[in-house]
Amino acid sequence: MSTEKVEIFDTTLRDGEQVPGCKLNTVQKLKIAARLDDLGVDVIEAGFPVSSPGDFQSVSEISKLVKNAAVCGLTRAVRKDIEVAAEALKYAKKPRIHTGIGTSDSHIKYKFNSTPEKIIERAKDAVAYAKTFVEDVEFYAEDAGRTNNEFLAKVCTAAVKAGATVLNIPDTTGYCLPEEYGKKIKYLKENVKGIENVRISCHCHNDLGLSTANALAGITNGARQIECTINGIGERAGNTALEEIVMILRQHPTLNFHTNINPKFLFDTSVMVSREMGMFVQPNKAIVGANAFAHSSGIHQDGVIKNRETYEIMDPADVGVTESAIVLTARSGRAALAYRAKKMGYELTKLQLDCVYNEFLNYADCRKEVVDTDIHEIVAMSRKHMAIA
Ligand code: KIV
Ligand code: ZN
């Protein structure tokens, strides 16, 4: 059965780079953009060109460099922003302008001091103006997650009529529940005129830890693009993590979706982004965290040593991690200790293992983890009691 393609729109260099402390220079951005292109993302959001000369330069240089992906620049629904983005993108093989405006009641009232009718006019004008520079124009309805669906459909219909090729429905504040966000996408599919020729995109924030679940709900209800970042970095609690959504679609073939991402590059890309941005990845982060394939309790270690599938739903090699780790702690059993000792060159008989294991437990109770140098010491101490080769 053939599967449907979901486009991956990476915004590590825009939404991700907005994070305090994550600022990159142009050289660093070029390095990451080249890696994202190799990884197989469909769209690289390279920056917000009007925001600073440095951002303009980065978008322009990335446009020259990228071979496969579309390169996208963000703008507000402001003509000057659109002109600057078009200029920054002029060398891109596949340029995309990403323009839009806030559509929720609070954005209309407090941000713009405007009316729903005027917001529709600005949306229409921004898309039509962007269209005079590039063919590919993505429209975002900021805070769509908290926007009334009927009004959202009206704004989106206006954007499509003005020539939008992609409709981005951001849950800007990370407020939606998956079912609610999924229903919103379905409603738009059924109520936006001209939607047949347009791709719906999910841009979900993680304020309640639901960004990946919401993006998935969007896809299963008709969206075909996901906006995401490496390691899930982004404003406040971040965005949908690229590695998570890609692996969810891959590990669940019954969903019938595929992406263009080569998962073998996921781990290295995560390390690269973390290092360049100086943004540490939490150890328990799904897919790319240091503990994502580490087993520490005796029961789990025993299972994994017998057969990896007992406690692993994916092969670490598939995401570029060399092998699963058996971490020795006071919760580890004999099987894990024997396994690790063997890797270090110690072939222990059952009797020898009993002796080493007793010594190991004394050691482990005083430490968070027992590492290889500790094992050498433990074996040496046990030698005093028994003959160990
Ligand atoms: O979260 C958001 O709404 C955004 C838009 C600018 C696309 O990042
Ligand atoms: Zn965002």
Give ipTM to 2 decimals.
0.99
| Region of residue 80 (left: phi > 0; alpha: psi -120 to 50; beta: else) | alpha
The pLDDT value given to residue 2 = 87
The pLDDT value given to residue 387 = 55
β-partners of residue 312 are: none
Instruction: Give counts: helices (H), strands (E), the chain.
Output: 14, 12
Give the residue whose CA is nearest to atom 1 of ligand 1. Answer: 172
Ligand 1, CB cutoff 6 Å, lining residues: 15, 140, 142, 168, 170, 172, 203, 205
Ligand at minimal distance from the CA of 103 is 1
Distance in angstroms (rounded) separating the CA atoms of residues 85 and 137: 12
Distance in angstroms (rounded) separating the CA atoms of residues 362 and 316: 32
Q: Tens of pLDDT along 50-90?
A: 999 999 999 999 999 999 999 999 999 999 999 999 999 99
Dist. CA 49 → ligand 1 center (Å) = 15
Q: From the CA atom positions of the chain, what is the Rg in Å?
A: 25
Dist. CA 234 → ligand 2 center (Å) = 7
Dist. CA 287 → ligand 1 center (Å) = 25
Q: Which segments in the chain show pLDDT lower than 70?
A: 1, 386-389
Residue 81 phi, psi dihedral angles, 5° rounding: -55, -45
Where are the strands (E) in the chain, listed by range?
Answer: 4-5, 7-10, 43-47, 70-76, 95-102, 136-142, 166-171, 199-204, 225-228, 257-258, 294-295, 325-326
The pLDDT value given to residue 353 = 95
